[in-house]
Amino acid sequence: MVYEPEEGNYLEEAIEELKRVDHLIFVSLKYTRTVDVLKNVLKRLITTFGCVIDGVLGDARDEKKIMEVPLAPVKKCSALKELIPGKYDELIDFFLYLRKLDRAEYDKINEFRRHVALIAHTEDEGDVEVSIDVVTEYYRKATTLIEALTKKPED
């Protein structure tokens, strides 16, 4: 899916996605405590960062800084790192990490209990436990990264 921004609208869409993540964590997980909700949180976080990446690359295309926006997410990340070195590196690395967790084979533990967790079997990091506390931390990190992008530079 290629996100076409409307004059900076991609940050608003990313913020809306973060609101959905907030609801999933603080309402849905509170009552359901299932791995499916954990997976949905990961997918929403990925979508949040995807909106930002697509939006920035779309703006760069409109300003004729790049010819076209790549279709593959990894190529988009590479294009963004080349276009604006340093500014989006942490966001891109976190985005790629979340994608890796989402795509990995996984097991469920403690479903319907407070310590529900998804155990992602990744090749690089081995087994990664994604629990309610972990996705809450991912949400806070995502919020911090998006807030850093929306801050106006001080004069």
Output the pLDDT for position 38: 97
Tell whether 20 is covered by a domain: yes
Tell whether 55 is covered by a domain: yes
Tell whether 43 is covered by a domain: yes
Tell whether 123 is covered by a domain: no
Three-class secondary structure of residue 114 per DSSP:
coil
pLDDT category of residue 76 using cuts at 50, 70 and 90: very high
Tell whether 117 is covered by a domain: no
Question: In total, how many domains does the chain have?
Answer: 1
Dist CA 155 CA 149 (whole Å): 16
pLDDT category of residue 153 using cuts at 50, 70 and 90: low
Helices (H), 6-131: 9-23, 29-32, 35-62, 73-83, 89-103
Q: Which residues form the domain of 93?
A: 9-103+132-150
Tell whether 137 is covered by a domain: yes
- The one-letter amino acid code at 75 reads K
Tell whether 138 is covered by a domain: yes
- pTM of the prediction? 0.90
Tell whether 114 is covered by a domain: no
